[in-house]
Structure 1
Amino acid sequence: MEKETRRGYVSEDEREFYQASGISLLKRAQEEIFWLLERGYPIKSASVFVGNHHLLSERQRLALVRATSPAAAIAQRVEKLMDQEEMLDGRTVCIDGFNLIITLETALSDSTLIRCMDGTVRDLAGLRGTYRLIDKTDEAVRLVGTQLEKRHVGRAVFYLDAPVSNSGRLRARILELMEGRSFETVVELVPNADVILEKEELVATSDAIILNHCKSWINLASDILADQGNVQRHLIDLSDVTRIMDTKK
């Protein structure tokens, strides 16, 4: 039997993210970071300044960096977003493979996820050149396949960073699990997936830089999780744009 692994799980999250006091602190810090972003401060400097002031952990700071964006960037991303209900009849979707699958593995592991100001769902697991398949990988890939069929996709191209460990194994597993689906599946091993995806349309990713540059995108991870209510228990909502925008005044 394959060993059970909880992707992205950190025990301290119970205190830092799931208690009312911790969530309240995060939201207050987020408002302050957003205020600084709107006045031209880089996200790194803003998160360090606010994080030091509130004595936030590195993981709390990471969550705030991933959740918070300037108003102009949010507006640009929302404008390029394809509606969840819009069918993609016969079209090609370009998928940021590691980005999407790790987020879904994290959800299936009941670990912390962040709903962000731009509507995306981001994990805190990170990918630092190493990856291994876990007991949640197959189900994550199946969920992707089911959602793509639901949207009537014609072709799905997964881009995986070749330098990341086990990228070849993940490629083989995706192709095996997608066999028999109603759409064509291609998995490309490339030196840098981001560079390719930044130029594409109908991109499935939560990577902020890719979202800023791509022609259009679909919020695939969020759409999948919306259909899987049982895996959203640890989804921390830092997406309230109206609340945060009030700090501009």
Structure 2
Amino acid sequence: MDSKLRIVRRGTDPQDDRWFSKEAILKLQKAQEELEWLLNRGYNNKSLMNMIGNHYQFSVRQRNALTRSTSSKEKRNNRKEKCVTLAYCKNNCIYIDGFNLIITLEVALSEGILVLCNDGTMRDLAGLRGTYSVIDKTDLALNLIGKELNNTDISKVEFFLDAGVSNSGRLKKFILEHAESWNVSTEVELKQQVDSFLYTKERVVTSDSIILDNCKSWLNLGRKIIEDYVYDQNIVDLAGKI
């Protein structure tokens, strides 16, 4: 690992022990049942979150966890139907939503809050908006991605990074440096509209809900890597009732 990389606990908050205590998670799970019931009947998510969040007096971070983890039954089932395995992708290329996967793994490695969502994904609460910096956990995250890919028969990997995000060029270089030791052909591309580009693809690696709703098929690779290799997990279970 580059000794110059900053040591950072990505996606953590000093209040997390209070906001995601056992009692708080039970309250979030109850609120999620109510939220999903209303979503299934066509109500608007944003207005619902204001109402439910105010009723339970949730913090902004708790509201984000609830919003990110909860989708309607229709959307949840549609996403799960399009989810494919690594074995399904044998001898094919996979398309990785770079910031989405790497930041989630950085949060996992930082023991930050990960939310197990009702569509089967794991999502973080890092909340990075247009800013990013390579940290010590980036090195570890890329090592885990390479370790997972080396155990597959995937022929090629293409990472896509939002060109407008700060340090995207540095991250591209960092990924390519790591990929030199991987057993799979790897490309990294900076794009202005990553989301809309991935809408057209199969075998997409992301947990972004909008991409999941629009892409042809996707892999739950982030969750698989976390469950396979990250042992000190800080997971809030909002998977709901299956």
TM-score under structure 1 length normalisation: 0.93
Residue 99 of structure 1 corresponds to 100
SS of 1:150's equivalent?
A: coil
Residue 26 of structure 2 corresponds to 24
AA partner of residue 98 (structure 2): G
Residue 47 of structure 2 corresponds to 45
- Please tell me whether the aligned partners of residues 141 and 174 of structure 1 are also in contact (alpha carbons under 8 angstroms): yes
Identity of aligned residues (%): 47
- Please tell me whether the aligned partners of residues 149 and 182 of structure 2 are also in contact (alpha carbons under 8 angstroms): no
Whether 1:5 aligns to 2:8 is: yes
How far apart are residue 87 of structure 1 and its match? 5.0
Distance 2:179 2:59 in 1: 40
How far apart are residue 142 of structure 1 and its match? 1.4
4+ residue runs of structure 1 moved beyond 6 angstroms? Answer: none
Whether 1:71 aligns to 2:73 is: yes
Residue 246 of structure 1 corresponds to none
AA partner of residue 157 (structure 2): A
Distance 1:145 1:87 in 2: 19
SS of 2:150's equivalent?
A: helix
Gaps of 5+ in 2: none
Residue 112 of structure 1 corresponds to 113
- Larger mean CA deviation between 64-73 and 140-149 belongs to 140-149
- Please tell me whether the aligned partners of residues 116 and 237 of structure 2 are also in contact (alpha carbons under 8 angstroms): yes
1:215-234 matches, within 5 Å, as 215-232=216-233, 234=234
AA partner of residue 90 (structure 1): N
RMSD (Å), alpha carbons: 1.1
Q: Deviations over 1:89-142 (max 9, x none)?
A: 221000000000000000000110001000000000022110000110011011
Q: Deviations over 1:57-95 (max 9, x none)?
A: 0110000000000000011011110136x2532210000
Q: Deviations over 1:211-245 (max 9, x none)?
A: 0010000001001011024132x111111333xxx
How far apart are residue 180 of structure 1 and its match? 3.0
Number of aligned residue pairs: give it: 239
Residue 245 of structure 1 corresponds to none
SS of 1:236's equivalent?
A: strand
SS of 2:187's equivalent?
A: strand
SS of 1:158's equivalent?
A: strand
Residue 151 of structure 2 corresponds to 150
SS of 1:199's equivalent?
A: coil
Q: Deviations over 1:169-192 (max 9, x none)?
A: 000000000113111100000001
SS of 1:160's equivalent?
A: strand
Distance 1:201 1:178 in 2: 22
TM-score under structure 2 length normalisation: 0.96
- Please tell me whether the aligned partners of residues 29 and 240 of structure 2 are also in contact (alpha carbons under 8 angstroms): no
- Larger mean CA deviation between 27-36 and 201-210 belongs to 27-36
Change beyond 3 A, Cα 1:175–1:222: same
